[in-house]
Structure 1
């Protein structure tokens, strides 16, 4: 019962931080806009949503929050354990969290490449407008754009996306829309995993090795999906859609930069 009360208190703090961050985003980008045409999602709102899901996920599946980190971690600071054992234990120890992350990543892939709407082809990830000789003028953003226009409505989205200047798009698209929350949560949880590696080991070399291996895996998968950054690939690198390849390459770079600064500063 005491554990449930503590978890409830932590969850309330998570909700409070989420609401504050989301509200700050609305205030900063809302300006003098009226509610009927205010843009609901933005950078801070995206951060708030991803933080909420990642933090809640960790809270739900963490049954040992009263124990010190070293006792939670099955291989902890045992210098005799090979690195591969530590990494496999990372996946095993937090498997419910990883399973949830894999499911929401799969959900993003399925929605993006299977959802059929209007006269747009399945899996379209382009800017619409004059792109591809104007064949898909109203398909801006693919499934992500369609979901935002369906739920948020045009008046609550970014009315002038960055692709509009080049492709003369006619429909709004929000780069911080709803579908991108799924891949954003993946990125956020990879940050949680970086924190786990740091908290559960006192050896600098092992911490850096964890980060570099995670970074290499994420970056390699991202480059594979995007065929080395080719626009004609399975999942192109697309920041406005927060595509899976973009998120994984971003995570790979983040792990690398984190390692470099950790060695330089700490």
Structure 2
């Protein structure tokens, strides 16, 4: 832990990051419980959207992870770009980039397995944090050592190359072009090279091979960050919003077309999924940037900023602190006076309040986990 020294921070980015993390820190449970106890059609719809499809397809819940990786990319031109402009050579920055990526891999292993808590053969090495660390690291390396045109070539090459590999690589006993859990090339290679266990035994949604196209997700964030960092003398704030909206819509249209040939699939992080999730992420960034940084409507952001400024903490802390016990101890007695539906929904809200109070204590004392 150390004090944060943010420079050139976008309040909209911290707000969007907190909004994104809110849903996996209890927000989705509110709608799940609300749908169960009321049966309201809109609550059922929301609860369905806050679950993952079994394999192919896309739901709102699929957007949380790639949006976080996308936002990590958005911050790159602000953090690394400013240093490059001051004359700091990439060779001096690369060590920190690699260190950050490997620390996130280590944190992911700890999150999955604890510390000396799991047998080596039973440890799961892939993780959400590892994908963010590795994909973000390679995207930053591309940013440091290539120009804008080369970055776009890398972006297209990653998506097209992954498509070619997934469709043409023959899996023994299956052949080529099958994208089932058993027969897709990414899972097959992961089974051969990854130690320990895979999350679903024959497949891991955060596997090593499907991390390769995730680099393109981070690059989409870098492209967006470069646009937002451009001087307002060259591109006005309103025009930046327009460009982001156009880019997001084009990405979604391309993903719909590609879906016919290479299905949208978060488990495999298919190229069409990169464009789909990336398109929505760009649109969300445009909306938050317009509301928060252009129109300056900021009072409502504080709730999410408290979460967004310590996003890794809010992701990991639930495995080590029993917020549910605390919420029950503080609010369970009061909620007992209400009917079951109110008590059920109120319990989820109380859980979020307790988590947020803990995050606020960190925020107020300027304690931010920086990797």
How does the TM-score come out when normalised to structure 2? 0.52
The alpha-carbon deviation at position 236 of structure 1 amounts to: 1.1
The one-character-per-residue Cα deviations of 1:201-247 (angstroms, maximum 9, x if unpaired) are 41111111221121111111101112xxxxxx311111111111111
Return the alpha-carbon distance in structure 2 between the equivalents of residues 9 and 30 of structure 1. Answer: 33
Return the alpha-carbon distance in structure 1 between the equivalents of residues 168 and 179 of structure 2. Answer: 12
Return the alpha-carbon distance in structure 2 between the equivalents of residues 179 and 16 of structure 1. Answer: 21
Indicate the residue corresponding to 2:187 in structure 1: 145
The alpha-carbon deviation at position 98 of structure 1 amounts to: 1.2
Task: Give the secondary-structure state (helix, strand or coil) at the position aligned to 1:117.
Answer: coil
Return the alpha-carbon distance in structure 1 between the equivalents of residues 238 and 186 of structure 2. Answer: 41
Paired positions, count = 204
The one-character-per-residue Cα deviations of 1:91-128 (angstroms, maximum 9, x if unpaired) are xxx11111122222222111101101211131111234
Indicate the residue corresponding to 2:252 in structure 1: 219
1:260 matched to 2:287? The reply is yes
Indicate the residue corresponding to 2:144 in structure 1: 59
1:194 matched to 2:224? The reply is yes
Whether the 8 Å CA contact 2:247–2:282 is kept in 1: the answer is yes
Q: 1:265 to 1:108 in 2, by over 3 A?
A: same
The one-character-per-residue Cα deviations of 1:143-179 (angstroms, maximum 9, x if unpaired) are 11101011115x3321xx3xxxxxxxxx520001122
Indicate the residue corresponding to 2:165 in structure 1: 111
Equivalent in 209, 215, 222 of residue 179 of structure 1? 209
Indicate the residue corresponding to 1:100 in structure 2: 154
The alpha-carbon deviation at position 4 of structure 1 amounts to: 9.3
Higher helix share: 2
1:234 matched to 2:261? The reply is yes
Q: Which runs of 5 or more residues in structure 2 are unaligned?
A: 1-83, 294-371
Q: Which runs of 5 or more residues in structure 1 are unaligned?
A: 63-93, 129-138, 162-170, 227-232
Indicate the residue corresponding to 2:111 in structure 1: 28
The one of the two structures with greater contact order (alpha-carbon pairs below 8 A, sep at least 6) is 2
Indicate the residue corresponding to 2:132 in structure 1: 47
Equivalent in 190, 197, 218 of residue 156 of structure 1? 197
Return the alpha-carbon distance in structure 1 between the equivalents of residues 267 and 231 of structure 2. Answer: 36
After TM superposition, what 4+ stretches of structure 1 lie above 6 angstroms from structure 2? 2-5
The alpha-carbon deviation at position 5 of structure 1 amounts to: 7.0
Equivalent in 90, 96, 101 of residue 13 of structure 1? 96
Whether the 8 Å CA contact 1:211–1:259 is kept in 2: the answer is yes
Return the alpha-carbon distance in structure 2 between the equivalents of residues 255 and 5 of structure 1. Answer: 29
